Chains A and B, each alone.
With several copies, the nearest count.
Chain A
Amino acid sequence: MNLDFTAEDKIFREEARDWLQANVFKERRPHGGEAMRAYDLAWQKCQYDAGWAGVSWPKEYGGMGLDLTRQLIWYEEYARAHAPDNHLCFVGLNHGGPTLIARGDEAQKRTHLRPILAGEKIWCQGFSEPNAGSDLGALRTRAVIDGDELVITGSKIWTSHGHLSDMQELLVRTDPDAPKHKGISWVIFDMKTPGLELRPIEIMTAPNHTHFVQCFYDEARVPLANVVGGLNNGWSVAMSTLGFERGTAQIKDQIRYAFLVEQMIERARARYGSEYITHDELGSRLAQLRADMAAARAMTYMVVSRAQHDIGGSLASLMRAMVGDVQQRVRRLAFDIIGADALENPEDDDWVYFYLRSYAQTIAAGTSQIQRNIIGERVLGLPR
C-alpha cells in the first residue's frame, strides 16, 4: 500500500497541469445543436493537436498509451482544471474506440480510431430497443446478409445525440434462429446510410433540446467488413464495450462531485449561517456526503490499484453501485439546499437540472437492480 508517485509521474502531472491551465476552453458550451457539436469537436481536436488525446489508447492509433497511474493523474488534473467534459465525444472515446481496439481488425482500427481522437467524428450507441430495456439479448433489429452487405431493418431507442453523430456502434440480430444471446453482431454503422430515419425523444430536464433519438432502419445497407469481432459474436463484443463504460475516465466525475459537495457546504453556510448548518439536518447530510465522497474516491483508487495487479473485473461493480448512490444523494441534497428557488430550472448548468438529470444517470450505467444482481452473483457467488 502506498500513495507514492514517481518523480517522472510528478513531472507528468506538472506538464498536464500547465497545458490544461493554458488551454482549457473558457467559453461556455452551447446548449444544443450544431454549435454544441462544434464546441465538443474543437476541444477534442485541441487536445489531440497538443498530444493530450486518448490517454489510455495505444500510441500506434494516435493515443498516449499511458499506464493507469498516469491516466489517473491526467483525469485528476483535468477535473481540477475544470476542463470541459467530452460530452458528444464520449461514446467514441469510451465505447466505440475501445471496442475497436480490443476486437476490431487492423483495417477497422486504421479507418476509425484516429478520427475519434482527432475530433473529427462523433459516435453514438445503438444498443437499446423499444421493448428490450436492459435485456440486450432480447434485441430484434434484423440484419440479413446480402452478398457482401448486411441489410438492416428495425429500431433502436435512447440513442444519445444520434442526430449529431457520424457513426454508430450498432447491435443487430444476424441469426434469428440462434438462442437469445447468440446470433447477434456488432456493426460499425455510418449515420448517413440511406434507410435510416431519426425521431427525437423529449426528456424531462430540457423540453426544448433533443438529447435522445429513436433510430428507424429500413433496409439500411452496411458492408459486411463493418462487422467487428466476427459475425454472430456481437454479444461478447458488446460485453467488452460495456466493461469500458466506466474506466479511469470516471475519476473526473468523482472529483467534480467532490468539488460540488464543497460548493454546497459553502452555499449552505451562506444561506443558513455557519453555526446553524453544523447542527442542522442539511449539515448532517452534507457531512455524511463529505465522508462518502472521500470513500468514493478511495474506491476509484482501489479499482486502479486492482487493475495494476490484473485483478478486479466484477469487483468494479461495487464502486459503480456506490458511486451511483452517492452521486444521486449529492444531487438531491443540492436541490434541497436551494430551498424554494428549486422551483426554477434555469437554462444554464444548474443544480436543479443536475438533480433531474440524476434520474437518467442511474439508468445509464445499467439500472442499480442489475448492478446489484451482478454483485450478488459474480462477486459474492450467490445462486441465480
Chain B
Amino acid sequence: MDLLPSDDQTQIVDTIKSFLAGEAPVDRLREHGAIGNPDAALWPKLGELGFLGLGLAEELGGIGLSASEEMLVFREFGYHLVSIGIFGIVLGARVAAVAGDDALRDELLTGARRVGIANPRGAAAGPGPDAQDYHLFEAADASLVLLVDEQGAGLLAREDFVDIESVHSTDSVLTLERARLAADKPRLWVARSADNIHSRALMLLGAYAVGLGEGARDMAVDYAKIREQFGKPIGAFQAIKHICADMAMRSEAALCQASFASLVMADGLPDTDFHAVASKIVATEVAMKNAAANIQVHGAFGFTSEANAHHYLKRAHVADLLWGSLREQRERILTFPTPA
C-alpha cells in the first residue's frame, strides 16, 4: 500500500508539469482576452506525448497505464486551468475505443479533433429547463459532443443538437451554448456495464478540482509571503496564516481521496463508484473554498482580471456544476452501501 507516486509516475507528472508550465502558463488566459482560450492548440501536442490515451488499455490503442496515472495528469490540468475540453477528448476517445470505432479513436488520440461536453440543464423537479435541455461547453468549434450519465457515455454530433444559442459563460474563458438534444440516441454509446465511464469522469473531475484548489492555494501562499502590510508580510498575521493553513489542509484531503479513488478504480474494486463520488464531493468543495479564500487573501487585487484568482473561482464552479453538483452528488453518495 502506497499512496505516493512511484518513480515512473513521478516522471510522468514531471513531464506534464514542465509541458504545461511552458505551453500553458495561467497568464495565457489573460493574454488571450476575455472570451475563450487557446488550449485547443495543446491537444495535438498532448496527443503526441501520449497524454490523451494514458489510461486506455494498449489493446484499445492507448498507453495502457492505470486510472492513477490519469488522475495525476488531470490534477495538473486543473492546476494549470486547462480547458475542460480535455475531458471531451480523453473520455471521447475512450467511448470510441470501447464502442469499437478504431478510426475515430485513433483520430481523437492524436488530438486532431475537438470534442465538446454536454451538461444537462434540467432540474429534478418544477418548471424550467427539461431533460432535453443541455449546456454545451467548448463545443463551438467541435464536431463531436460527449455526453456522460449514470447509464453510460456516448458521443453525439454537434448536429444532433438543435436551437443552439451562444450564451455568456460564467467562466468566460470557456465557450458556452444552450442547446436542445434532438437525437434519439448517441452516434456511439458505451453502457455502464461495458466500461464505467461515468465514475471515471467523476474521478477525473475530482482530480482536476484537486489541481484547481492547489493552484489557488499556491497563489495565495506566494502572495502572503511577498505582500507587505503594516510593515510585515501579510502571511505573518494569524488571520491570513490560518486561511492559508486551512487551504493546505483541504487540499491534502482532496488529494488523498483522489489518489485513493483512482487506486480503487484501477483495481476494479466494488467501491469504485462510491470513492469516485466522494472524490468529486471533497475536491469540488475544496476548489470552491480555496478559490474564495485566495481572493480574500489578495484583498481588492483578487477581484480583478489582473490577478488570476478569479479564474480558479469560476472554474471551480464549473467543476461543481458539471455532471451533477455537490447537491446531487451528496444525494447520490447516500445511496451506496457502506464502503469496505
**Most chain B beta-carbon neighbours within 10 Å: one of A5, A204, A277, A371:** A204
A344–B168 CB distance below 8 A: yes
B157 at the interface (CB under 8 A from A): no
Q: Could you tell me which residues of chain A, from 49 to 80, have a CB within 8 Å of some CB in chain B? A: 69, 72
Report how far A322 CA is from B245 CA in the complex, Å.
Answer: 11
A115 within 8 A of B: no
Taking a contact as CB atoms under 8 Å apart, the answer to whether B172 and A207 are in contact is yes
In the assembled complex, which residues on chain A have CB atoms less than 8 Å from the CB atom of B21? Answer: none
Say whether B259 contacts A1, CB under 8 Å: yes
CB of B13, distance to nearest CB on chain A (Å): 11
Give the residue of B4, B119, B230, B241 whose beta carbon is less than 8 angstroms from that of A376. B241
**Interface hit among A82-90, A236-244, A281-289:** A281-289
Mask: chain B, 115-129; 1 = CB below 8 Å from A; 0 = not: 000011101111111
B135 touches A340 (CB 8 A): yes
Q: Which of B125, B168, B325 contacts A346 (CB 8 A)?
A: B168
Which residue, of B170, B227, B238, B331, has the highest number of chain A Cβ atoms within 10 A?
B170
The residues in B between 204 and 251 inclusive whose CB is less than 8 angstroms from any CB of A are 221, 224-225, 227-230, 232-233, 235-242, 244-246, 248-250
Given contacts A359-B292, A382-B235, A383-B233, contact A271 B318 (CB under 8 A): no
Is B299 a contact of A134 with CB atoms below 8 Å?
yes
With an 8 A cutoff between CB atoms, is B26 at the interface? Answer: no
Cα distance A371–B235 in the bound complex, in angstroms: 16
Are A291 and B1 interface neighbours, CB within 8 A? Answer: no
**CB-CB under 8 A for A376 and B235, given A3-B1, A203-B304, A294-B260:** yes
Given A301-B256, A304-B1, A283-B128 contact (CB < 8 Å): no
Q: Which residues of B contact A131 (CB under 8 A)?
A: 228
The reply to whether B6 and A372 contact each other, CB–CB distance below 8 Å, is no
Count A-B pairs with CB separation below 8 Å.
284
Describe B's contact surface by its main secondary structure.
helix
Is B35 an interface residue, CB under 8 A from the partner?
Answer: yes
B331 in contact with A287 (CB, 8 Å): yes
Q: Give bound CA distance, A318 to B327, whole Å.
A: 26
Enumerate chain A residues within 8 angstroms of B235, measured Cβ to Cβ. 376, 380, 382-383
Report the separation of the CA atoms of residues A201 and B253 in the bound assembly, to the nearest whole angstrom. Answer: 36
- Given A1-B262, A278-B334, A343-B119, is A362 in contact with B296 using a C-beta cutoff of 8 Å? yes
Category for how many chain A residues contact B: 35 or more
Across the interface, which residues of B come within 8 angstroms of A158, CB to CB? 300
What residues on A are CB-neighbors of B168 within 8 Å? Answer: 344-347
Q: Is the CB of A203 within 8 A of B305?
A: yes
Interface residues of A in 299-344 (CB under 8 A from B): 299, 301-302, 304-306, 308-309, 315, 318-319, 321-322, 325, 335-336, 339-344
Q: Is the CB of B242 within 8 A of A291?
A: no
A/B interface sample: 11 pairs, CB < 8 A: A1-B68, A1-B259, A133-B299, A208-B34, A272-B124, A321-B249, A344-B167, A345-B169, A368-B296, A382-B236, A382-B241
Task: List 8 tightest A-B contacts by C-beta distance, closest first.
Answer: A204-B310, A207-B34, A202-B305, A287-B330, A298-B256, A376-B241, A382-B235, A375-B245
Chain B interface (Cβ < 8 Å from any Cβ of A): 1-6, 9, 34-35, 68, 119-121, 123-129, 135, 167-172, 176, 178, 221, 224-225, 227-230, 232-233, 235-242, 244-246, 248-250, 252-257, 259-260, 262-264, 267, 269, 274-275, 277-278, 281-282, 285, 292, 295-296, 299-306, 310, 313-314, 317-318, 321, 325, 327, 329-331, 333-335, 338-339
